[in-house]
Amino acid sequence: MKNKKFLVPGILFSLLIVAFVVTSLLCCYTTKPDISKGEFPFSITYEYKGETGTLSGIYKCEYLGSDTIFNEHNRYWIGESIIEYDGEYDIPNIVFQDETMTLAIHEFIEPGYFMGDPLYADWYSKHYDLDGPQPSIEYYDYINEISLGDENVNREELLEEIGFKLIDYSYPEPIENSFSFSGIEFQADNVPIFVLVSFVFLILCIIFVRKDKEYKYSILDKIGIALNFIIAIVALPFISFFCWIYGIVGGEDVMSQITYNTPFVAITCLALSVVLRRKGVRKTGFFIQFGGIVLFILLLIIDAIAECC
């Protein structure tokens, strides 16, 4: 009979671990590419007031990382244009600039698209209704406060009026790339999902774990319960405030990964304390109840020391 004393709690706790693992795999996974860096030559030929010019160079791309928020996976890339230039303006993209106007050409390259990332395969068509990459023309008239982006401006007529024509441009094809699972990374935005998982575990424990002994909750017990709920229920504001105060942002360091799971631990400790009290294990239940709170305090102390040092 004693062996069956914790059978139901053991089953529920096993289900909690499975739920945590599954939720982590679905909502917090990261990926990495087989090819993380690339270089792509481009060339843009134009005519301005009868003179022909060319903007050409190499666009360097690099993979920054990925995250998953509410089961939506995102990958991040960065790119930089390397252009040989000995013209009169500060940057090579400027075709003409004075106190009255600025005319410039931007290569308009999305690094994820060229690096063969499936998440960016339809980036140009989705955001700009384009079949693929093409140069972006920037024009602003400082006197009349007119730009190509104005709704009442006819782009073709305005470019013809100022004597600008895009003659030709060339970009390479995107490379073939593949991506694979690289690990788990917890994010602040996913905290409510894990709070819900642990809260369901708490409810199931209250419903299915039978009382072997009655236990009267002291004032300290009630304070502990309240603190556990405060940490867990207001999880997202708490995490955001904690990150803002102590500079814990992103998900790369161990400290932030632990921090994002503090609300989950708080509710789980509360649930386990309920189980132990109902089974007559009073002291252990009391100490476990404060596990999430202790973790929170330890994080504050450790990070405060790290900031000072």
Q: 92 and 128, same structural domain?
A: yes
The domain total for the chain is: 2
Q: 56 and 101, same structural domain?
A: yes
Q: CB of 35 within 8 A of CB of 29?
A: no
Give, in order, the Cα–Cα distances in Å from 223 to each of 77, 265, 271, 287.
47, 17, 15, 13
Q: 193 and 153, same structural domain?
A: no
Q: 100 and 81, same structural domain?
A: yes
Q: 23 and 108, same structural domain?
A: no
Q: 173 and 41, same structural domain?
A: yes
Which residue's entry shows tokens 């000072």?
308
What is the per-residue pLDDT across 3-32, written as a single tens digit (0 to 9) for each? 677 889 999 999 999 999 999 999 999 999
* 268 membership: H or E segment, kind and range: helix 262-278
Final residue belonging to a domain, choices 180, 210, 226: 180
Confidence of residue 232 (pLDDT cuts 50, 70, 90): low
Residue 223 is predicted with a pLDDT of 79
pLDDT over 80 at 229, yes or no: no
Final residue belonging to a domain, choices 149, 180, 211: 180
Q: Kindly state the DSSP code that residue 134 receives in the 8-state scheme.
A: -
Q: 45 and 140, same structural domain?
A: yes
Residue 261 is predicted with a pLDDT of 84
Domain that holds residue 55: 31-180
Beta 51-69 vs 37-48: how paired, if at all? antiparallel
Final residue belonging to a domain, choices 180, 200, 228: 180
Question: Distance between CA 28 and CA 30 in Å, rounded?
Answer: 7
Q: 231 and 91, same structural domain?
A: no
Q: 200 and 145, same structural domain?
A: no
Residue 153 is predicted with a pLDDT of 83
Residue 189 is predicted with a pLDDT of 82
Q: Give long-range contacts, CB 8 A cutoff, 24+ apart: 39-43.
A: 40/109, 40/114, 40/171, 40/172, 41/172, 42/107, 42/109, 42/169, 42/170, 42/171, 42/172, 43/168, 43/169, 43/170
Residue 264 is predicted with a pLDDT of 87
What is the per-residue pLDDT across 249-305, written as a single tens digit (0 to 9) for each? 444 567 778 778 888 888 888 888 888 888 888 778 778 877 777 776 776 676 666
Q: 102 and 39, same structural domain?
A: yes
What is the per-residue pLDDT across 21-69, written as a single tens digit (0 to 9) for each? 999 999 999 999 999 999 999 999 999 999 999 999 999 999 999 999 9
294 burial level (CB within 10 Å; 0-12, 13-18, 19+): middle
Residue 250 is predicted with a pLDDT of 42
Residue 251 is predicted with a pLDDT of 44
If phi over 0 gives left and psi between -120 and 50 gives alpha, with beta otherwise, what is residue 250? Answer: left
Q: 89 and 78, same structural domain?
A: yes
Q: 297 and 280, same structural domain?
A: yes
